[in-house]
A and B are shown apart, each in its own frame.
Chain A
């Protein structure tokens, strides 16, 4: 829960772009010029040489003729990013490549790198001669992961309702009991959730994640605000009851949108690594659940989500890098074994309170995370190799 938008969307874009970029697009400029779309960016305009092009391999040749540094985006109609290029200085050129399917898009120039930008609607039609070749295994992996994400989201709502009902009933103990459990589905699929930049700050931000000028009393919402009320302030007031309603509402919005997330094999792989990053930066330190100390529940859920991505990508990755897959199998098992030391029943999500986890044990957990996250960071490469 860094309230930062990383992950899936950008990863997806990069991933799509990748194949193209690594295929030396840069070097073969001359040849690929034919299909390229010219974009002339100025301080007050964004001229696009053609607004209809075949789906598949898209290349934008951008020239900044304005006086400000600009950035250029290819966007889905709902503003998600397909591909982007920042920091294009005045008088300089840059190129952007993407793999796109048939459909409507927008190309946006942002002079000064601020605001919504100057937009042009464009359309990609047909299958395209250079349509991306996809492997059935990859398609299966993505489809299965999409299902998983949706199922996790769907299953989360009723659990959240148990939590929020307890809050609304003013029952501190019942709410505390339901708290960690209500977060598991979210934590398992966090990179996808975070890809919708606006939901995460509403439901999962910590007090120190608020921006300058935001008032904690008014602007701090979501799970951790309620966590503080329950464990630190030990009381539920009207504001908390309102926040419970809001959490239900925001998460319902998440459940509705999660199916539209752009997911690719590489975004799955990098998303898995990001889940471990979440563990490494927030859970291992005990910062995430500083009032409830339920960090190990989130930890376990993050690992499970990462493992799901990995398992689904395994058929592809094992062909390209069997050694890496063996290492990941081993490290997932090792970390899970380590985590099991902190719960008596392996089917339950009742873990030792993190404040009772000593310095040396935290070091051991941190070492375990590093041991898994480092090879996991190579999974994306093994998938596209």
Chain B
């Protein structure tokens, strides 16, 4: 299924990485100098300010040219990569923690934070990719040399399994970090599910995203091991709704009403943990969020043989414009009752789900073909919310039971992570409040 909740949101306009409050200190991009871009802060600022986004590629692209090379600030009250304008590419990795030593895990999180600061600013890891001792492997693997920062964001999360007895964290497991229920139709592969830790790397250049995960994995060998990972190539939702909504692999615009990165109120209400959600054992989650990741396989061949009218009925939108049934424009308010009862948009809409609203930043994926000649493709669904019990779970419960789209999709991987708040400054590190 796809962006469940296509409708999850209200209208909005606006944009951008301003989601990271206090994101400030625009680390100077440099791997790849930003000469010509006027510096990261500037590029972002300009975009955020005007909403006058210069669209490229016939108006379809959501990323202004000047923005694609810039660096997204790493520090802030919230982690970057959530409300940040969605980048073009994804490399998402889940890790198992192999060490049993809490201090070693803490050191790894510190090392990762320092490496993430450098990479998101466009710098090499450690002492770099060349110039060191010739008989030792370089600290940085080197494939991002010469590339721009590409708006790389790195976002860390902690899975429920981290809160078992190993590291003395059991008492700190937030109530919202539930074990997801089994939904009808789920066909989850354990080898593509779960994980103690996750890192979401988003960037406009796939090489930059892959480089980041590869180098973090390398730093982590012996302490953590990659459990599974997923590459994503085409964003399926945007947090910048003034731009056109990207299409999913079914050819539909889905996610029209996503929460925008600049909608401070809605972010506070639906995405960022605060107040009650961050009390007691979960106090460390103040400013954080919860991420649901689902690998949703799409049966594209059978979908492609489905008549147009049926496709449109299934979504509850027309294919060309993306307008809800009976309406003219994509962003027109949908009239749910005009849609078939099992249409995707109707079932995913907040009004059908007690107002449940989530921020989606999923990506299309393909891992080639599956041996039967079928495209191994689908949606790598990523949704952020303040509490999955009032976010993803009700929406998916409604969808998994009756969504007409279920005939063409299957959930094959699933994971849930608590996303801690942002790294405040150079002395702070990912998860400090959790391990304090």
Contacts and interface: CB of A to CB of B under 8 A. Distances in A.
Interface in A5-32: 11, 14-15, 17-18, 21-22
Contacts of A269: 135
A374 B135 contact: no
B136 A374 contact: no
A21 B134 contact: yes
A371 B221 contact: yes
Interface stretch (A82-90, A208-216, A377-385): A377-385
B98 interface: yes
A327 interface: yes
Contacts of B134: 14, 17-18, 21-22
A377 B135 contact: no
Contacts of B222: 327, 331, 370-372, 374-375
B309 interface: no
Contact of A22 (B133, B218, B223, B225): B133
B62 to A, nearest CB: 38
Interface in B220-241: 221-223, 225
Contact of A371 (B98, B132, B133, B137): B98
B221 A18 contact: no
A381 B221 contact: no
Nearest to A372: B222
Interface in B133-155: 133-137
A212 B191 CA distance: 38
Nearest to B225: A367
Contacts of B223: 371
A309 B209 CA distance: 37
Contacts of B136: 377-378, 380-381
A217 B369 CA distance: 35
Interface in A281-330: 327
A373 B134 CA distance: 18
A39 to B, nearest CB: 21
B197 to A, nearest CB: 14
B133 A381 contact: yes
A381 B134 CA distance: 9
Contacts of A359: 191
Nearest to B223: A371
A380 B135 contact: yes
B135 A15 contact: yes
The interface centre, meaning the residue of B98, B134, B135, B137 with most chain A CB atoms within 10 A of its CB, is B135
A18 B223 CA distance: 31
Nearest to A374: B221
A95 interface: no
B98 A367 contact: yes
Interface string A239-280: 000000000000000000000000000100110000000000
A14 B135 contact: yes
Contacts of B221: 370-371, 373-375
Given A370-B222, A372-B222, A374-B221, A270 B98 contact: no
Nearest to A367: B225
Nearest to A371: B222
Contact of B135 (A266, A370, A371, A373): A266
Interface in B160-208: 191
B139 to A, nearest CB: 10
Nearest to B227: A363
Interface string A344-385: 000000000000000100010001001111110110110011
Interface string B85-103: 0000000000000100000
A270 B98 CA distance: 25
A134 B221 CA distance: 33
Given A367-B98, A371-B98, A18 B218 contact: no
B161 to A, nearest CB: 15
Contacts of A384: 133, 135
B218 A374 contact: yes
A240 B135 CA distance: 42
A61 to B, nearest CB: 19
A370 B191 CA distance: 19
Given A367-B98, A371-B98, A18 B225 contact: no
23 contacts: A11-B135, A18-B133, A18-B134, A18-B135, A21-B134, A327-B222, A359-B191, A367-B225, A370-B221, A370-B222, A371-B98, A371-B221, A371-B225, A372-B222, A374-B222, A375-B221, A375-B222, A380-B133, A381-B132, A381-B135, A381-B136, A384-B133, A385-B133
User: What are the 7 A-B residue pairs with the smallest beta carbon separation, nearest first?
Assistant: A371-B222, A381-B136, A367-B225, A374-B221, A370-B221, A380-B135, A381-B133
Given A11-B135, A370-B221, A375-B221, 13 more contacts: A15-B135, A17-B134, A21-B134, A22-B134, A266-B135, A331-B222, A367-B98, A367-B225, A372-B222, A374-B222, A380-B135, A381-B132, A381-B136
